[in-house]
Structure 1
Amino acid sequence: MEIAESAALVVVDVQQGFEEEAYWGPRDNPEADRNIARLLDAWQPSGRPVVFVRHDSLTPDSPLREGYPGNAFKGYVEERRGRGPGPELFLTKSVNSAFYGTPDLDAWLREAGVRQIVVAGIQTNMCAETTARMGGNLGYEVLFALDATHTFDAVGPWGWRLSARELARATAVTLHGGGFASVVRTEDLVASVA
């Protein structure tokens, strides 16, 4: 795997509110946070760009709403902000895609000469997937770190239920099979950056 010197790590919505199991329900991939931390610990010393994305929910009872403690980044993310010598961007959004946030992610990446992005974060099949899809549509080479994401069980139309694991697998198949992104593992990314 080739990781460009300008490749940006996009860390999506790694916020304290996602720890509120009573709100979200069962989740998958207990190793996600460890893998996100590993990516940050590889990326920052390399001088590559890092983007920290925070979801400011407009839903009044959401654990991610502004002014609520759950809106803050998880501790291990917050303590890593500003630690690397490379460019860093903090952006907020209220929709799924980080490309519809403030400031403008696409403009920042293009100005920095970034053509390759790595997406990690929460939730696999929601904001992380939407950011990856849109990145692919905008012409970026997108690497989706599946094991550095997690999601929650969900209920859809007609009472259809899918487990978090099933949803994560569907995301991987859709992104990979649809040509939006290459689905990769944290271990391979870290080895390629070192």
Structure 2
Amino acid sequence: MTKNALIVVDMQQGFDDPRNGPRNNPACEENVNALLESWRSAGQPVVLVRHDSKKQGSPLAPGQSGNDLKTGIEGPHDLFITKTVNSAFYGTPDLDAWLKKEDINAITVCGIMTNFCCETTARMGGNLGYDVTFVLDATATFDKKDMDGNIIPADQIARTTAANLHGEFATVRSTAEVLSN
């Protein structure tokens, strides 16, 4: 059986903070939990990633309740990574070294935020030669202002991320598609 590591990125309580603004995909948590249940029951490797923000006042800073993982995420896992930047590949312990040691050449990425830490992890995984699946409906993001102050809706940001990744860095799929295989 081919090993495929589920990389669950930054599913943390701090993303529920209203300061983040409007969010897309209210089904994200449900979809991530379905993926986790499938991976755990199949004995496939699970990697949990937590962002430990260095920004003053961030709800994701260590010691804040927002740094904690969301309910249901904190179950059994094979590797727990902490990071202070966007990519899980720049966390501790070293994700790439662990994947190589475990002879894993495929990863499936889900979590928060679609266009930041999830996308960056998927791009780096693709560049490092992993077979990357990006589960779009198991990610979530927030509305964002562009450089002119215009609001870009979160759904548009997510679709753009999917278009940028698909066929270049990853294969973009839905939770249902991933679970049906």
Displacement after TM superposition at 1:160 (Å): 3.3
CA contact (8 A) 1:119 1:145 kept: yes
Output the amino acid matched with 1:180: F
Residues in 2 aligned to 1:115 and 1:151: alpha-carbon distance in whole angstroms: 27
Of residues 57, 81, 92 in structure 1, which corresponds to 2:82?
92
Of residues 117, 134, 142 in structure 2, which corresponds to 1:144?
134
Unaligned runs of 5+ in 2: none
- Residue 14 of structure 1 is matched in structure 2 by 11
Matched, 1:180 2:169: yes
CA contact (8 A) 1:99 1:105 kept: yes
Displacement after TM superposition at 1:190 (Å): 1.2
Larger helix percent:
1
Displacement after TM superposition at 1:76 (Å): 1.3
Residues in 2 aligned to 1:99 and 1:160: alpha-carbon distance in whole angstroms: 32
Residues in 2 aligned to 1:14 and 1:41: alpha-carbon distance in whole angstroms: 15
The C-alpha deviation readout for 1:37-88, integer Å capped at 9, x for no partner, is: 000000011111110000000011111001100000001112x235xxxxx0
- Residue 75 of structure 1 is matched in structure 2 by 71
- Residue 59 of structure 2 is matched in structure 1 by 63
The C-alpha deviation readout for 1:120-139, integer Å capped at 9, x for no partner, is: 00000000000000000000
- Residue 160 of structure 2 is matched in structure 1 by 170
Residues in 1 aligned to 2:150 and 2:21: alpha-carbon distance in whole angstroms: 16
TM-score, normalising length: structure 2: 0.97
% identical aligned pairs: 52
Aligned residues: 181
SS across alignment from 2:61:
coil
The C-alpha deviation readout for 1:87-132, integer Å capped at 9, x for no partner, is: x000100000000000000000000001000000000000000000
Residues in 2 aligned to 1:16 and 1:76: alpha-carbon distance in whole angstroms: 12
Q: Which runs of 4+ in 1 moved over 6 A?
A: none
Aligned-CA RMSD value: 1.0
Residues in 2 aligned to 1:136 and 1:5: alpha-carbon distance in whole angstroms: 17
Output the amino acid matched with 1:127: C
TM-score, normalising length: structure 1: 0.91
Displacement after TM superposition at 1:158 (Å): 1.9
Residues in 1 aligned to 2:76 and 2:54: alpha-carbon distance in whole angstroms: 25
SS across alignment from 1:126:
helix
Q: Which moved more, 1:160-169 or 1:90-99?
A: 160-169
SS across alignment from 2:60:
coil
CA contact (8 A) 2:87 2:120 kept: yes
